[in-house]
Each structure stands twice: as structure tokens, then as C-alpha cells.
Structure 1
Amino acid sequence: MFPFRKNGAPGVTWLVVGLGNMGDQYDRTRHNVGFDVIDLLADQLNIPVQRLKFKALTNTAELGGAKVLLMKPVTFMNLSGEAVEQAAAFYKVPPERVIVVSDEVALPPGKLRVRPSGSAGGHNGLKNIIAHLHSDQFPRVRIGVGQKPHPDYDMADWVLGRPQGADRDAVDGAEARAAQAVEAIIKDGVPSAMNRFN
């Protein structure tokens, strides 16, 4: 049952937030896999995610039997929490119904990790969301983009680079599974999604 807002329309019960940076120079980079997953969901649901609201490009959709707000924060990655906090406050969505999709350098390219909660693991976008929600109890879908090739390699250069060849194929496959995992979390819960996708 959807909570009803004052205007009588069913309210959003989940936020699905893809992390990334705006701009063509960031398109399809390792750091933008979260945006890619939101774009995939938008294509599957046949809705454009382009309404500027809560410091994010947004649209509402039916997914997994619930009404969700798809979000691509337009702040830079390390300020993503500002957008999430505004939307969560407006729709009164608790942290455990905020699904965040992000890149993960600690996982090999194409590996997926669904978690109910946890630390930021050095990810500045997640760190900022935890700070703004005052909670780390939100589900996340992390997409492996692989470790930087050697210790001296600059981490920013790595995550802002584009996967090539087999890595690209692996990441693309993981993005498609991540879109399915988001729906599974909403429909069947995090434990079930973890069993299926981890």
C-alpha cells in the first residue's frame, strides 16, 4: 500500500540513486556506472530521467510493484548526499528504502555486490550520502570496475577512465544485472537479491 501524500496521489516509496558525474567527459567512465544503470532502467521503463528536482535528474516509475524515484544527482559525485537527503525528506523515504548504485574498485570488472548497509569503503559518493542521511543502513548495488593497474597509478585517473575490451564487456554485463538487482531488492528484499546476484 502506497503512503498517500496530501494531494491524494500515491507517494514514492523507494529512491533508486545512480552515482556519477554530469558531463560528456565522464560518460561511460568507471565512476559513472551508477548513471548507466539508471539510464538502462529508464530505457526499460520507457521514461526519460531528465526532470531537474532535488539537485538531480529524476523521474518516477513503477518498478518491482512499487512507485520509485529514479535519480542521477547533478552535484559532483562527492556531494551526492545533498540530492538524496532532499528527495528522502520530501517523500519521507527511510534509508532502508534508498538503493544506491555505484562503482567499486575492490571488485574485479563485472562482479556485482549487493549489500543491505555498510561503510563507504573509501567511496566519496557513498561517504557523502551516509553523512547526509545520518545512516549507513541503506542498500547498495556495487559494480566491480577493477583495481588500478599499479600502485603509483592515480586513482582519479583510473575511475575517470573508460573500461576497454573485455573489461568493457564485463562492466556492461554487470550494469544489466545491476538493473535487475535493483528491481529484485524492491520486489523480494535485499537477502533474496544478495542470493541471486552476489
Structure 2
Amino acid sequence: MSDFWICIGDIHDEVARLTDIPELAQASGVIISGDLTVAKGAPAARRVIDAVAAINPVIYAQIGNMDKPEVTEFLQELGCNIHRTVAELTPSVGVMGVGTSGITPFNTPSETPDETLGAWLDETYAQASQYDATVVVVHDPPFGTKCDDLGNGVHVGSKAVRAFIEKEQPPLVLCGHIHEARSIDTIGTTTVINTGMLSAGGYAKITIEGAAVQAELCIME
């Protein structure tokens, strides 16, 4: 029997389209890859989490660069934070997160040097060694893929994220951050999905059977 999870990201306070996601209530749970808010803190993040929980109460989430750092503490209090930590999707498959983003030109609330993102990925992945497979959730997409293309051939993703994927080859990496780059790509044997903004209709459906992880990029009607 298979489990399935729904991944969304870049919500930016806009929750109306949650009700347009097929099977959201029936999913094993919901993974949020970051940017719950627009430069806001815990009260705004709570409104987003409450809206998701009204449909499906099983949530794993992390901050993006547009969330204030205090949102991590809020998510920890709820028991649903995955930034720099590991949680269980099934007894065979874990999920880990590294939120925030690399340094941007826009001075957003939660930015992290790229080398630090790489160190966090290594540290957190080491915590997941008991699982047969690990789903990796990063807000910042890997450099040089469809998932970090601004739409004009300019790539602005994380080189550290890409190096981590090339080294560890997790089955699935979920990301966001670059709204224009909603897409699915591969690095070696790793599937990479940028779901884009929730308000634009993108989400991912992750199916787990045993230790096998499959995922598809979906667009709401």
C-alpha cells in the first residue's frame, strides 16, 4: 500500500487555492517548502498553517527567505518544523529541510551564505541515516537547472544545493523560491521539483511505496 503527500510552497499569505488541490484532505500530510508569508512573522505564519490544517492537519514546514526567523520557533512549538531537522514520512522514508535562501539583492528577512546552506544540508542529511530514503526539502533550488531559471536563461539557484545533490543523490528534492521556474528536472538520479507559487496553481504529489519515492509536478485547474 502506498502513501502520498502533497508539497506546496511560496504561499506568501495567499491560501485561497488550497481548496483547489485535489486529494489534499486525503493525503498522508502536507509539506511546505518555505515562504509562508511576505516578510512577516509568527502571526501571519499561523494563519497559513491554520488554513492548511483545516483541510489536512498533518504538516511539515520550514521558513523561506521571506519569512522572519521567528517563524522557525513558531513551527517548532507546533512540532512541524523541518528546517535543519528530520521527520518521518513512513518508517522507511524520512524528510529533512533546509530553509531560508542564499543572499539576494533584496535584503529579505532570512538569507544565508551559500556555504552555510551546504553545511546545513550535510549536517541534517547525516541525521537521516536510519531511513532507507530521504526526501530533501530546500527553499533555494539547485543552480543550473530548470528549477532556478528566471525565464531568460539566467540561473540564480544555490551551487551548494547542487553540490549536495550531486554528492548524495537523494531520490527527491523539493524546492521553490524562484517563482518563474516552476518545473521538474533531474540531477543524476535525483528528481528536483520547484512547485512555484501556490497562487499560480503549482504543487507536487509524492507517492511512497516501501522505500521507493516517486513524485510529479501538478497544476491545479
Q: When the two structures are superposed, what TM-score results if normalisation uses the length of structure 1?
A: 0.33
More strand by share: 2
More helix by share: 1
